[in-house]
Amino acid sequence: MTKSATRMRHHRRMPHAEPGQRVGLFGGSFNPPHEGHLHVTEKALRRLDLDLIWWIVTPGNPLKDHGVLEPLEKRLAQCEKLAVHPRIKITAFEAELPTSYTVDTLDFVTRRNPGVHFVWLMGADNLGQFHHWERWRNIARLMPIAVIDRPGATMSLHSARAAMVLRHYRVDESDAAALPLMRAPAWTFLHGPRNSLSSTALRAQNAVSS
């Protein structure tokens, strides 16, 4: 079996987590992965007191253009090269599921890992469109959510439809370390230094330079 095939076989398995562990789930296309993803990850590890974060590299986002999507194998290799932190686990197990919707993925993860305290991680830019996600209210009921501030998206805390609907379940960020142990729905917004890098901008830059 080639090295590439071995990598794919490994990443198509769900990472291991022990009951009682606090695990952040950070899903996305990672097309390409960049320092902004690491910035969000490291902030979540620290502020939420997490044991692990899984980078769930999706085969394709239903809300994004697949025409600019690099092959899954290439994106996984890029993630491996960038994310060398021992508490980051890179996975593409979603490619084995008969769905591309986050709500189904998270339901599968929680059923497969009883006793693990999961938190869904998202950038503030995604909060603004969260209400367009398939069965987004079900996502909020499945596990706590941590929204990490992103440049140009801070006001989504007050303007996003999902933020307004879920306003009574918002946890003050001073209590963020307790979020993984809370019963959903529960969410918090983490302010702080922001990284302006985005996959969209990097693709545009690469297109100009190529």
pLDDT at 1: 64
pLDDT at 206: 45
Is residue 135 a contact partner of residue 30, using CB atoms and an 8 Å limit? no
How far apart CA 88 and CA 83 sit, in angstroms, is 7
The angle formed by the CA atoms of residues 181, 185 and 187, to the nearest 5 degrees, is 75
pLDDT at 207: 41
How far apart CA 81 and CA 122 sit, in angstroms, is 22
- For the chain, domain boundaries: 24-209
pLDDT at 61: 66
pLDDT at 100: 82
Fold held by 24-209: Rossmann fold (3.40.50)
pLDDT at 210: 42
pLDDT at 6: 72
pTM over 0.75: yes
- The residues of the chain scoring below 50 in pLDDT are 197-210
